[in-house]
Copies of this chain bind each other. A is one copy, B any other.
Amino acid sequence: MNEVRPRTRIQRRNTGAILEAALAVFAAQGFRGATLDQIAEAAGLSKPNLLYYFPSKEAIHLDLLTGLLDLWLDPLRALDPEGEPVAEILAYVRRKLELSRDFPLESRLFANEVLQGAPRLAGVIAGELRDLVEAKAAVIRRWAEAGRIRPVHPQHLIFSIWALTQHYADFEVQVRLVLGAGEPDPFPAAEAHLEALFTRLLAP
């Protein structure tokens, strides 16, 4: 079911090239829109050679999605219940925005999956992710009850952070086109804006 276990130098190089190429293609076209030919060409391999390393298109996609999950959830896991509430949440926002800046393809891969109804990630979202959100929402609720942040709906606060940060990766084209050529890198201004937004929302 999985690809060839990378044991030789060549295997490591080629599976790496395939996953990198596939990430770009799946992120831009979605699963159904992507073709093995596109991936093979981007990876610099022939299509049969692709299928020597991975048993199917589906397997490549799944490999990317599962590999993505830790990267995606770690910033929320790092939210420290013992830390200073506003600073903790702002740090989470900053980490998530950095992810959008440094891994936009991963963000768009995830966005495509969820847009298409999360056929492959529904289980993880309803399980692992839901549990993690619930746990961190409880932390936020306690902070609010202790008066250390203003009262907020914890889950919707987390949704807001996801929406606002991932927007800069998923809708990057729109952001750049609307801002125009004047400002080439929107991220510094975005960071300042989001910091102000969450500070004013949360600081008691």
Which residues in A have some Cβ–Cβ distance to B below 8 Å?
27-33, 108, 111-112, 114-118, 122, 125-126, 129-130, 133, 150, 152-153, 155-157, 159-160, 162-164, 166-168, 170-171, 173-175, 177-180, 186, 189-190, 192-194, 196-197, 200-201
How far in angstroms is the closest Cβ of chain B from A134? 8
Given contacts A152-B193, A163-B163, A170-B115, contact A177 B32 (CB under 8 A): no
Q: Is the CB of B178 within 8 A of A155?
A: yes
CA gap between A156 and B193 in the complex, in Å: 7
User: Which of A28, A118, A170 has the most CB atoms of chain B within a 10 A radius of its CB?
Assistant: A170
Given contacts A32-B29, A164-B163, contact A177 B122 (CB under 8 A): yes
Q: Is the CB of B153 within 8 A of A160?
A: no
How far in angstroms is the closest Cβ of chain B from A74? 17
CA gap between A190 and B173 in the complex, in Å: 26
CA gap between A135 and B180 in the complex, in Å: 14
Q: Is the CB of B28 within 8 A of A193?
A: no
Contact of A163 among B126, B150, B167 (CB under 8 A): B167
Q: Is the CB of A177 within 8 A of B33?
A: no
A-B CB contact pairs (8 Å), 26 listed: A27-B115, A28-B117, A29-B32, A29-B116, A30-B112, A31-B33, A33-B116, A108-B115, A114-B170, A114-B174, A115-B115, A118-B173, A125-B173, A125-B178, A129-B177, A133-B178, A153-B189, A156-B193, A157-B193, A160-B193, A160-B194, A160-B197, A162-B171, A163-B163, A200-B200, A201-B201
Q: Is the CB of B30 within 8 A of A30?
A: yes
How far in angstroms is the closest Cβ of chain B from A22? 15
